[in-house]
Amino acid sequence: MDISVVIPLLNERESLPELVARIHATITGMGRTYEVLLIDDGSRDGSWEEIQRLHAADPHVKGIRLGRNYGKSPALNEGFLAAQGEVVITMDADLQDDPAEIPELYGMITADGFDLVSGWKKKRYDPLSKTLPTKLFNATTRWASGVQLHDFNCGLKAYRKDVVKAIEVYGEMHRYIPFIAKKEGFHKIGEKVVQHHARKYGVSKFGLDRFINGFLDLLTITFVFRFGKKPMHFFGAMGTLMFFLGFLAIAWMLGDKLYHVMSHQRARLVTDQPLFYLALTAMIIGAQLFLSGFVAELVARNSPERNSYRVSERLGL
C-alpha cells in the first residue's frame, strides 16, 4: 500500500464526510493505493456512527475507536501501529488541514528522500490567544531540540513508514514527534508551507492547560532521551556537586573557627551562622540526589528495554 492517512479525532462528526471525500478525490487523482484511518478518541457526538457509515460506503475508510478520551498522542500511536502504507500522512479532522497538500508531501518523502516532513501554517486563521503561545512554544522547542521547524504542532505531517514504526508517542508527546524522530536517528527532516483554513464545524480543543503541559512535556522528553538509560549521570553529578559545595562551606567555617581559636581571638559559634545550615542542607540534598540516581540506575538496569535499539540494516546475518 502506498499511503496511509491517519486522522485522530474528537467530536468532529460534521466534518468527516467532506474530509474523506476530499482525501479520496486527491489520492485517486494520484493513482496511488491508500487507506484512511479514523481514530475516534472517545467522541460523544456520533462520530463513530459516522465512521461506520463511511466505512460501509468506502472500504478505504477504516476506524479505530478508543474506549474513552485518552488524548491525541495515544490516538496517533494507535494509528501508527495500524498503518500499512509506505508513506504515512497525519492530519486533523477539523478541515483546517487541506488534503490537497498530500501529493506534494508524498513526493517529498518518496522523491526527495525526507524521513519526515512537517507542515508550516505560515498564515493562520486562529485567534491571537492561540497564535502567540504557539510562537513562544515553537521558539522554545527549536532551541531545546535543535530541530529547525517553524511549526512543531501542525497536525499535517508526512513520514516514511520506518519512522512511525520506530517511535512511540504517548502522553502529549505528539507535539515533539520531529524531536523524537531525530533522537531515533531520522535526521532528514523537512518542512513545507501548507494552507490553513478557518474551522468550519465544531469548536477548538486548544486550552491554556495544553500550552503549560507542552512545556512540561518538553522537559520530560529532553531528560528521558538524554538520561533515560543513564540516570546516574544526572542525579549523581548534581548530588556530588551539591554535597561537595556543602562540604567546602562547612570546612571553611571550621577552618575559620580553628584559626580564631589558635590566634586567641573570639569567634562565632559555627552553629550560629546561617551558612552552616545552608551547607548542611546542601549536603543532605546532595546525598539524596546521589541515592536517587543509584536507585534509578538499578531500575534502568533491570528494565526489559535496557538493550532495545533500532537496527536500520543488517548485512550477512
In the prediction, which pLDDT does 84 show? 93
In the prediction, which pLDDT does 208 show? 58
Q: In this structure, are residues 1 and 33 in contact, taking their beta carbons and an 8 Å threshold? A: yes
pLDDT in tens, 39-50: 999 999 889 999
Q: Who contacts 257 (Cβ-Cβ below 8 Å, separation ≥6)?
A: 267, 270
pLDDT in tens, 62-106: 999 998 988 888 899 999 999 999 999 999 998 888 999 999 999
pLDDT at position 200 over 70: no
pLDDT in tens, 260-295: 778 877 877 777 888 889 999 999 999 999 998 888
- Euclidean distance between CA atoms 39 and 272, whole angstroms: 65
As to burial, measured by CB atoms within 10 angstroms (0-12 exposed, 13-18 middle, 19+ buried), residue 116 is: buried
Instruction: Look at the domain 3-227 and name its fold.
Output: Spore Coat Polysaccharide Biosynthesis Protein SpsA; Chain A (3.90.550)
- Euclidean distance between CA atoms 291 and 285, whole angstroms: 10
Q: Return the closest-CA partner of residue 51 out of 75, 88, 79, 20.
A: 20
Domain residue limits, the chain: 3-227, 232-301
pLDDT at position 206 over 70: no
pLDDT at position 201 over 70: no
In the prediction, which pLDDT does 242 show? 93
Strand order of the sheet with strand 61-65?
Answer: 61-65, 34-40, 3-9, 87-90, 157-160, 116-120, 189-193
Q: Which pTM was predicted?
A: 0.75
Mean pLDDT on 218-231? 75
Strand partners for 7: 38
- Euclidean distance between CA atoms 67 and 257, whole angstroms: 68
The conformation of residue 185, written as its DSSP 8-state character, comes to: T
In the prediction, which pLDDT does 294 show? 84
